[in-house]
Amino acid sequence: MFRRRFTSAAVVFGLALITAGAIPAQFEPTARLGLSAAPDRYDGEIAPDIGAPFTLYVILTGLAADEPLPFELASVGWTIHTACCGDSPVGVTSLVYADGVIATGDPYEQVETATGGCPGGETVLLATATFEWLLEGETEFLLSAGALTGALDCTGDAHLLQTLTVTVEGQEATPSERDSWTAVKALFDGAGGTP
């Protein structure tokens, strides 16, 4: 299990500065980095069963759904965190880096990633993260991954990145028909007889 440290306040403050226009034009974001429910495009919602593991993807993509990534990636530093307002009931239990991505670090502190082939295009997959429920309580919350440094492209230019957030809406698990029959049968078997 990875150590859990969250940088929520810094990310919210940074997003507020970007949104409010407090950052000069030369420092405007050119792409987005964060979590997604899909590996090949940004999908900002997931509805996993409460208690069941679920997968999210760390991606780098253009500023809008119809915009490709405007550069070829060489390296970027990022972290996984809750987006706002306290602790999340889930934690990262597995992090698998995409083919061609060389990474070091802890996802709750800083992951430094480098790519060997300068990938570009619509979306670049950096990692696949498996989350598991660790605490009871909240079933609807936000998760995100955000850049801690600007991304460097293959020509050495830096790019400011926006953060992508995923809304997690936990669903009560519904037992399957087989599970229900097994439970009923177990009641009778435990009483010393069969139906």
159: amino acid identity, one letter: H
Domain positions in the chain: 8-190
Q: Is the Cα torsion angle 45, 10, 103, 41 positive or negative in sign?
A: positive
Residue with tokens 């996802």: 107
Alpha helices in 51-94 (DSSP H): none
Report the relative pairing of strands 161-169 and 140-147 from DSSP bridges.
antiparallel
CATH of the structural domain 8-190, one choice from 2.60.40.680, 3.40.50.2300, 3.10.20.30, 3.40.190.10: 2.60.40.680
Q: How would you class 109 by CB atoms within 10 Å of its CB: exposed for 0-12, middle for 13-18, buried for 19 or more? A: middle
Output the pLDDT for position 184.
Answer: 54
* Predicted confidence pLDDT, tens digits, the chain (195 residues): 444 444 443 443 444 344 444 444 457 899 999 999 999 999 999 999 999 999 999 999 999 988 999 999 999 999 998 655 556 789 999 999 999 999 999 998 999 999 988 888 889 999 999 999 988 878 889 999 999 988 999 999 999 999 999 999 999 877 654 455 555 555 556 555 555
Pairwise CA distance, residues 150 & 122, whole Å: 19
Output the pLDDT for position 88.
Answer: 77
Pairwise CA distance, residues 167 & 172, whole Å: 16
Helix, strand, coil percentages, rounded to 5, for the chain: 15, 45, 40
Residues 6+ apart with CB under 8 A from 148: 77, 78, 79, 110
Output the pLDDT for position 117.
Answer: 83
75: amino acid identity, one letter: S
Pairwise CA distance, residues 154 & 140, whole Å: 39
Residue 135's CB is within 10 A of a number of other CB atoms, namely 10
3-state SS class at 178 = helix
Whether 52 contacts 119, CB under 8 Å: no
